Chain A
Amino acid sequence: MRRRIKFHLPRSWNLILFLGFGLFLLIVTALTIPVQATPSYQGNKTSNDFCLACHQQEGVNITLGSESLPVTINPTLFGLSVHAEEGIACVDCHKNISAYPHPAVKETSVRAFSLAYNESCRECHEDQSSTIKDSVHQKAISEGKENAPLCSDCHNPHTQTRVIGTESGKLTIAARLHVPQTCAQCHSDKYEQYKASVHGKALTEEGNLDVPTCTDCHGVHKISDPTTASFRNSTPALCANCHTDPKIMDKYGISTKVLDTYVADFHGTTVKLFAEQFPDQPTNKAVCTDCHGVHDISKVDNPQTGIAIRENLLVKCQRCHPDATANFPGAWLSHYEPSPQHSPIVYYVTLFYKIMIPSIIGGMVFFIITDIYRRTVNRAKGVKHA
């Protein structure tokens, strides 16, 4: 919703029709809500209808210091919200208001006003409020960064629809598809990269539910700082969550050996050991995102950016190995297990040792057994050995 000044409102038939339709929807919604599920409307509590009588009017503003806050509530959107669905009353959150005129607001800015209301979410959403305490966002709030997101920045309490399906117990499809736009409010450049990436394109254009949305990698309320060593060290495990799952990968013909082949390589071995033994210590060995990108992951066979193309991969190698030349990317087996088709030299060297080690050691053991046998026989016969 945009801020609008009362006097500039276009008073047209369209608007009347719109409001009328909104009212109609509200009535329909209200009628479909069973009475017994709406305890908040009962008793002597101030009803939502009472509040909306004024607050549904366009252009209602309050003044906070030098700022103006629109306090219009769209009755249609509110009616569709999960709070309306659950029968939450306006006064459940706006506790200090029960009649008109309202008590004076002491906050002197819109942000301070929102911040003051942030704690009221905790009353019903205890789990989310406590998990958020460990998040990077909460840290920013504690540091006094006033633009750091409050509950209401991601979940507008007047319009937020249900995010967890009542039957599935999981994030609804609509909510899942909406996540990137929520994050984009503050992280719009990441959103632009994501939207163009293989994951983001599939989600935003095709509504693909297999691809990760922001929260799949970053978490929901407990969003950790993605620039730390421990986040970096845990990257392979994070990507492997989906990329080793044949239920997801088989559909797209993507190998599920990506983690195993990475760990078998020098970089992967090191990062795995760091993740297991010293997760908080930084390592400069490449993780998934160093070659594939973070929000801008593209298909490996993309002609411009795909790293299945040697020249594109070399650019990635050179980020850490600036002197690397054309042959250097070949040192990485591109997530293939050595075979006569892919990396035949590695395959045959490995095969050579697979044959040689048992043959040579077996030969030695055989000779030693004959030696022990002869010594035992000689001793039994009383013959001097050799």
Chain B
Amino acid sequence: MSSQPRTYLRFSLSRRIEHIGLMLSFVILASTGLPQKYPSSKISVFILQALGGIENLRSIHHFMSILVMFAVIYHLLVMGYKVFVLRTPWSMMLSLQDVKDGIQALLYNLGFAKTYPKMGRYTFEEKFEYWAFVWGYTIMGITGFIMWNPITATRYLPGEFVPAAKAAHGGEAVLAVLAIIVWHMYGVNIKHYNRSMFTGKITEEEMVHEHPKELEDIQAGGANRVLDAATLRKRQRFFYPIAAILTVAMLAGVYGYVTAEETALTTIPPISTTVESPLQTLQP
């Protein structure tokens, strides 16, 4: 036995790249979005001037949102492959157990419960954050579409949905930024510094504390389940065409999202009325 603590692979490289992409896009979207919600604040003015004005800021915000849309498509495809082809346990799925775990954790903290809940691959805190993101990005996507394409949107919706979308987009943004600062920063940086999203690795000690059920599963051989080649190929034959069709549909959706309206406006022609129209009676 070596003196090095035993580690487990918690996040594969592609997961980590997804996280970095999400992190960067979130920061850029927030820092180009919030100045639009609070244009008078000094920080907003600084950001606006640094980026060369509101129009540039909006372009960056739009461009980043397109990248997020691609990232979402990628994530859906990977999750689809895992769930339908590899049939790995859907460990991120919410269940009643998560509510129980949350309550038990709170009671434990307050001293009303003897033990802290034993949790699996994802704790209730992590699941809460993941699904908050799913909810938030859905809201952002829909309200973003309405604001990006107000003419198209008001063909089907009352006009008031446009300012309502703006209010929701801004409210959701504030909620998301605060949640990240409070919940995420505490959970992964302050409670204890968790580097697994960057290194991919987690120590056995951390596993014992945070994911005891997952550790039990691994020790019971859960990670060594092998899928025989024939079944894998059979499932892939189903998955790939469906995934391809869905990908094309989703990419078409992104294309439509971005191009539904050439722009929301055509430029106002410069004022070109005749300035002079002298009266006939002249003064002496």
Contact = CB atoms under 8 A, between A and B. Distances in A.
B178 A361 contact: yes
A367 B109 CA distance: 8
A45 interface: no
Interface in B133-151: 147, 150-151
Contacts of A156: 283-284
B168 A349 contact: yes
Contact of A273 (B39, B274, B278): B39
Interface in A2-38: 2-3
B179 interface: yes
Interface in B258-284: 261, 264-268, 270-271, 274-279, 281, 283-284
A329 interface: yes
B36 interface: yes
A117 interface: no
A357 B172 CA distance: 8
Contacts of A331: 150, 154, 159-163
A302 interface: no
Interface string A238-277: 0000000000000000000000000001100110111011
Interface in A143-194: 147, 153, 156, 184-190
Contacts of A44: none
A325 B151 contact: yes
A356 B277 CA distance: 60
A332 B166 CA distance: 12
Interface in B159-183: 159-164, 166-168, 170-172, 174-175, 178-179, 182-183
Interface stretch (B46-54, B75-83, B196-204, B228-236): B46-54
Contacts of B54: 269-270, 273-274, 277
Contacts of A327: 154-155, 157-159
B24 interface: no
A330 interface: yes
B154 A328 contact: yes
Given A273-B39, A277-B45, A356-B175, A328 B283 contact: no
A207 B113 CA distance: 81
Contacts of B264: 321
Given A156-B283, A273-B48, A368-B186, A330 B116 contact: no
A86 to B, nearest CB: 21
Nearest to A377: B111
B277 A186 contact: yes
A354 B105 CA distance: 28
B120 to A, nearest CB: 14
A220 to B, nearest CB: 18
A46 to B, nearest CB: 22
A330 B109 contact: no
B108 interface: yes
A69 B284 CA distance: 7
A229 B283 CA distance: 34
Interface string B95-126: 00000000001101111000010000000000
A345 interface: yes
Nearest to A319: B268
A314 to B, nearest CB: 10
A1 interface: yes
Given A1-B283, A69-B284, A361 B155 contact: no
B183 to A, nearest CB: 5
Nearest to A322: B266
Nearest to B150: A331
B151 A321 contact: yes
Contacts of B160: 330-331, 333, 343, 345-346
B166 A352 contact: no
Contacts of A328: 150-151, 154, 159
26 contacts: A1-B283, A69-B284, A187-B275, A265-B163, A272-B39, A274-B53, A284-B267, A284-B268, A325-B151, A330-B159, A330-B162, A331-B162, A338-B163, A338-B167, A346-B160, A349-B167, A350-B167, A353-B170, A353-B172, A357-B174, A367-B105, A371-B186, A373-B109, A374-B109, A374-B111, A377-B111
Interface of B: 36, 39, 45, 48-49, 53-55, 105-106, 108-111, 116, 147, 150-151, 154-155, 157-164, 166-168, 170-172, 174-175, 178-179, 182-183, 186, 191, 209, 261, 264-268, 270-271, 274-279, 281, 283-284
Given A333-B160, A368-B182, 16 more contacts: A69-B284, A147-B276, A187-B275, A226-B271, A269-B36, A269-B54, A277-B45, A290-B268, A331-B163, A343-B160, A345-B161, A350-B167, A361-B178, A371-B186, A373-B110, A374-B109
- Which 3 A-B pairs rank lowest in CB-CB distance, beginning with the nearest? A330-B159, A353-B171, A370-B109
Interface of A: 1-3, 69-72, 147, 153, 156, 184-190, 226-227, 265-266, 269-270, 272-274, 276-278, 281, 283-284, 290, 319-325, 327-333, 338, 343, 345-346, 349-350, 352-354, 356-357, 360-361, 364-365, 367-368, 370-371, 373-375, 377, 385-386
